Amino acid sequence: MPKTRSKIIKDLIMNKINVLQAMQSLYFMLEDIDDLEINNWVNNEMNGYAKDTKIPEYRKVNTILIGDVQVGYTIYNNVNIPIADEKAYNFFSSFEINDPISALIKMAEAENESEEHSLYLDANTLLVDNYKSINGTVIRARRKLSIYSYNNILSIIKDKVLDIFKLLEYNYGNLDELYIDFSDVQKKEVVLKEIIQIVYNDNSISIGDSNKINDSIVGDNNEN
């Protein structure tokens, strides 16, 4: 381990650089590592995850289905909407955030400014009305994200980048030139395994495939 910490590590810890800047720096450090899985992770975090790309568990958040329900002539606003069907419930109670880090930062700022520190996503009203297990008609439906969802994701990404920085610094010395010589293949293979462990070692609860409703019911156009 070097006698002094790399400036980039200290800057990230002290919030002198943000998570995006740290990830961009990591991109250059790993430029010659020649590992598709790690390079894809860095690129996906910077540019966003495509629809057909598997989302890391730390980007899956819980949501609560709420909305406005009309019973007779009375409208009840912002009430919880229970869903009896298990697959429909799992779909509406979770959300995969595939935005790039730059968007996460903006959404995290919006969370901080929100009174509830939580953001809302419009849900397909007709679909919710079809699966609801309460009386009345759903006239508007939204999914409320768990508190500080975007902030929490950014915090997890920051911790992962910091751990990778520390690993690289321990094995290759000061990182401030943003260049690492990976010519020692044996050392590189060991470091690669440890980076992958850092990236995908996650304590969050796996939502799994149960958050999918039949494609004939839920498609790309079902979120308003």
C-alpha span between 207 and 224 (Å, rounded): 23
Q: Strand, helix or coil at 68? A: strand
Give percent above pLDDT 90 in the chain: 84
**Positions in the chain short of pLDDT 50:** 203-224
What pLDDT, on the 0 to 100 scale, is given for residue 2?
A: 56
The token pair at 222 is 């079902």
Q: What angle do CA 204, 120, 223 make, to 5 degrees?
A: 95
What pLDDT, on the 0 to 100 scale, is given for residue 202?
A: 58
Q: Strand, helix or coil at 144? A: strand
Amino acid at 97: I
